[in-house]
């Protein structure tokens, strides 16, 4: 076992993991189980680096098996859950907003063994008018009351303060022979740029960006971003127009949306479907990916990172007398490290939003591993 890693095991299968984005001091992650058993669970885990330990708080997720979790960047107690519901012979995917209680501590003398902590509030979202299978609920990065819901072939924007919902994207039904066929959206995310007006949606092998101020306004798109289905995307928070995608073809690709015909960076180090791709928000030359090949990979894309731009600016400043800023070294492009402690498909890998050198990964067998960027790369970047 890698000395930089720590394992936390769930009793049930799981495929949903998210950092606790509203938390600014402790390294915390939410994990939810994906079991057909009556009671699913949601775990809030906190990692103590000094002690080398993980503490957890466990809640009951009685609504159903959880397929997707997102935490609110504006409120550390709020998260969105997408879960399955059995309706007769049909399985539907619904969504709910879950609020933690204000006080997470237990009364004196009470031990948490088989009992669950109570929720502060559980609000099931009304999405049935838009479709039967919700894929994700995405919190807007800067507007606290705005949510985006990806459901079937639609993207709906919910304004919580006004209790209004508006469909901003609706992929038309196409006829193939006598049958009508719709390819639903896979997932989606708010763009960190474009003044918060664009929502990025994955659709089969392609990616489309919709301007949410209008209806059916596709601002730009990348057709055939992958040769097979695109599974995940992430925006580079530090560099305009750059995003990363991962797909069933095993590729990780970084795109500049102004030049959609070809990626500016790509790697094919995974041997199966890529389920998760994430830029490091502090050092975006570091990219994390996970796959059903049971591996988590740490890749350097330094040549297309914001840190390359910053380095160029620094070099110019030395000659031109410009302002100096903190200097970070850019590593060489390529695969830095393979993390292979998982024994099942790794559906999620997420950076900590508090510590730039820590990340968590989750495999379907319920194994959560807290890992660190190897010291050799950390020290090369910061010294």
- Contact predicate 362/346, CB 8 Å: yes
| 337-374 per-position pLDDT tens digit | 999 999 999 999 999 999 999 999 999 999 999 999 99
Complete edge-to-edge strand list for the sheet that includes strand 296-300: 274-279, 286-291, 296-300, 334-339
Which pLDDT does position 36 carry in this prediction?
Answer: 84
Residue 327: other Cβ atoms inside 10 A:
11
Q: Across residues 16-35, what is the average pLDDT?
A: 96
Query: DSSP characters for 73-124?
Result: SS-TTEEEEEEEEEETTEEEEEEEEEE--S--PPPTT---SS--BPPSEEEE
Let me know the angle formed at the C-alpha of 120 by 118 and 121, rounded to the nearest 5 degrees.
Answer: 115
Which pLDDT does position 37 carry in this prediction?
Answer: 77
pTM assigned to the model: 0.91
- Range in 94-108, 125-139, 291-305, 353-367 with the lowest mean pLDDT: 94-108
| 256-276 per-position pLDDT tens digit | 999 999 999 999 999 999 999
Percent of the chain with pLDDT strictly greater than 90 = 77
| 312-339 per-position pLDDT tens digit | 554 544 444 444 445 678 999 999 999 9
Domain spans of the chain, in order of start: 1-103+117-125, 225-315+327-382
Distance between CA atoms of residues 335 and 301, nearest Å:
9
Structure tokens at 138: 């995405």
Which pLDDT does position 110 carry in this prediction?
Answer: 56
Distance between CA atoms of residues 271 and 291, nearest Å:
8
Q: How confident is the model at residue 195 (pLDDT cuts 50, 70, 90)?
A: confident
User: Is residue 175 predicted with pLDDT exceeding 50?
Assistant: no
Question: In the chain, what is the straight-line distance between the N-terminal and C-terminal CA atoms, in Å?
Answer: 28
Q: Across residues 76-83, what is the average pLDDT?
A: 97
Distance between CA atoms of residues 31 and 312, nearest Å:
40
CATH number of 225-315+327-382, picked from 3.30.70.2190, 1.10.240.10, 2.60.40.420, 2.130.10.10: 2.130.10.10
Task: Calculate the CA 185 to chain-centre distance.
Answer: 16
Structure tokens at 262: 């070809």
- Contact predicate 249/204, CB 8 Å: no
User: Is residue 169 predicted with pLDDT exceeding 90?
Assistant: no
The whole-chain average pLDDT of the chain stands at 90
Distance between CA atoms of residues 152 and 376, nearest Å:
45
- Range in 92-106, 199-213, 238-252 with the lowest mean pLDDT: 92-106
Q: Across residues 82-91, what is the average pLDDT?
A: 89
Percent of the chain with pLDDT strictly greater than 70 = 89
Which pLDDT does position 3 carry in this prediction?
Answer: 63
| 87-118 per-position pLDDT tens digit | 888 899 999 999 999 887 755 555 554 479 99
**In the beta sheet, which residues pair with residue 222?**
207
Q: Coil, strand, or helix at residue 195?
A: helix
Largest Cα span, the chain: 72
What single-letter DSSP state applies at residue 311?
H
Distance between CA atoms of residues 255 and 279, nearest Å:
13
Distance between CA atoms of residues 258 and 256, nearest Å:
5
């Amino acid at each position: 076992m890698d000395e930089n890693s720590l394992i936390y095991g769930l009793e049930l299968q799981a495929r949903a993991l998210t950092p606790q984005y509203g938390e600014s001091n402790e390294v915390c992650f939410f994990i939810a189980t994906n079991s057909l058993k009556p009671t699913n669970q949601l775990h809030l885990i906190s990692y103590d680096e000094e002690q080398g330990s993980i503490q957890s708080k466990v809640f009951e997720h009685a609504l159903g098996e959880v397929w997707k979790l997102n935490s609110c960047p504006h409120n550390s107690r709020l998260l969105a859950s997408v879960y399955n519901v059995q309706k007769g012979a049909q399985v539907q995917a619904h969504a709910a907003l879950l609020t933690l209680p204000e006080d997470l501590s237990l009364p004196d003398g009470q031990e948490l063994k088989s009992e669950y902590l109570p929720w502060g509030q559980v609000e099931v979202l009304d999405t049935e008018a838009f479709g039967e299978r919700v894929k994700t609920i995405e919190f807007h990065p800067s507007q606290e009351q705005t949510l985006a819901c990806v459901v079937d072939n639609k993207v709906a924007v919910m304004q919580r303060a006004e209790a209004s919902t508006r469909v901003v994207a609706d992929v038309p039904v196409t006829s193939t022979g006598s049958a009508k066929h719709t390819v639903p959206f896979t997932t989606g995310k708010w763009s960190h740029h474009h003044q918060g007006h664009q929502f990025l949606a994955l659709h089969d092998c392609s990616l489309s960006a919709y301007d949410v101020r209008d209806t059916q306004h596709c601002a730009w798109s990348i057709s055939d971003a992958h040769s097979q289905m695109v599974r995940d995307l992430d925006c580079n928070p530090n560099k305009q127009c750059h995003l990363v995608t991962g797909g069933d073809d095993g590729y990780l690709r970084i795109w500049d949306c102004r030049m959609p015909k070809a990626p500016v960076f790509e790697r094919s180090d995974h041997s199966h479907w890529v389920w998760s791709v994430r830029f490091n928000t502090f050092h975006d030359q570091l990219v994390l990916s996970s796959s059903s090949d049971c591996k988590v990979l740490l890749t350097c894309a330094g040549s297309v990172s914001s840190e390359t731009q910053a380095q160029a600016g620094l070099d110019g400043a030395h000659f031109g007398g410009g302002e100096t800023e903190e200097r970070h070294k850019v590593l060489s492009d390529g695969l830095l490290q393979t993390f292979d402690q998982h024994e099942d498909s790794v559906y999620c890998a997420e950076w900590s939003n508090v510590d730039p050198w820590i990340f968590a990964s989750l495999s379907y067998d319920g194994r959560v591993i807290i890992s660190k960027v190897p010291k050799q790369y950390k020290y090369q970047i910061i010294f």
